Amino acid sequence: MPELPEVETVRRGLAPVMEGAVIARADVNRPNLRWPFPPDMAARLTGQRILRLRRRSKYILADLESGETLLIHLGMSGRMLISGDALGQFVHDHPAPEKHDHVVFHMHNGARITFNDPRRFGAMDVFSTIGADDHALLAKLGPEPLGNHFDEAYFAAALDGKNTPIKSALLDQRIVAGLGNIYVCEALFRAGISPRKRAGNLSARRAGSLVPIIRTVLMDAIEAGGSSLRDFKQTDGELGYFQHRFDVYGREGQPCRRVGCRGTVGRVVQSGRSSFYCGGCQR
């Protein structure tokens, strides 16, 4: 599933052709994805100007002139492809429709944004912008890891007394929003912390040291356009490149990349997910 860097990469790709632009027509080609679409979604979107395109955790939020917000979740295999030449730059011509093109936005500026999702684990919803933070998918989310509310004092307090492994705590969206398996593994490696370490056993100093490392890992991944492992592609159809810089994720049995460490990358299953780490230098 796309994590924060992939979703932010998509948001940044969409912003130049969607922010301030009008949806001339919205085509909704099926009644549902992971859940049913909201009533009259096509009509509620058609003719609306997008005032702002933002991200919350792994969700893209488009605030509309009507006072409603469109929520987009990419799910496991969802991707949004821009076609047309709205900005006077080289952009792909409109391709022929494909089987899994479930929602299509025809913009007044000539761009077309197609939501394609073969597995249909994605989701869309439309709801009032006022009180949007109370939406069922957003209400219990913790602070953004790139935001000011996620700081050393907050994180140390959030981990205090927790008996779960630090890996599980970092994946808990109520503690910090948007982190997923890939970037948690990479951040813990850079911090030299074992994914098995009990969260509550980390000192405040060590817990606090994770905050800037998490931010750096995420920003590095965003700069690289995210990670493409299976389905993820950027809005222009290009792949992300951060997977070529993984230190531990997917590198089971390979030498540790930390200078001076002679360990190898191991793998352990935690809560049904693979944790990759170096037993030699992560304690």
Q: How much is the pLDDT for 238?
A: 57
- State pTM to two decimals: 0.91
Place of tokens 């025809």: 106
For the chain, what are the domain ranges? 4-134, 152-278
Q: How is domain 152-278 classified at the CATH fold level?
A: Helicase, Ruva Protein; domain 3 (1.10.8)
Q: Residue 239: CA atoms inside 13 Å, Cβ hemisphere, count? A: 9
**pLDDT at residue 45, as a whole number:** 98
pLDDT for 89 equals 57
**Run of H or E including 274:** strand 273-278
Type of residue found at 113: I
For residue 115, what pLDDT is reported? Answer: 96
pLDDT of residue 239: 52
Catalytic residue selected from 11, 55, 58, 167: 58
Report, as ranges of residue numbers, the positions in the chain whose pLDDT lies below 70.
85-92, 228-242
Following DSSP, what letter does each residue of 68-102 receive, concatenated? EEEEEE-TTT-EEEEES-TTSS--PPPPPP-TTEE
Provide the pLDDT for residue 2.
84
In this prediction, residue 90 carries a pLDDT of 46
Residue 6 and residue 10: Cα distance in Å, rounded? 6
CA pair distance 274, 234, nearest whole angstrom: 25
Q: Residue 258: its pLDDT value, please?
A: 96
Active site residue 2: yes
Q: What's the rounded Cα separation, in Å, for the pair 49 and 107?
A: 10
4-134 belongs to CATH 3.20.190.10: yes
Asked, colleague to colleague, whether 4-134 and 152-278 share their fold, the answer is: no
Structure token digits, residue 146: 């790139």
Cα–Cα dist 171/183, whole Å: 10
Known catalytic residue at 195: no
140 assigned to active site: no
User: What integer pLDDT is reported at residue 240 of this predicted model?
Assistant: 54
Alpha-carbon distance 110 to 143, whole Å?
Answer: 36
98 carries an active-site annotation: no
Tokens for 198? 């009990």
* Residue in this structure with the two tokens 């953004």, named with its chain if needed: 144
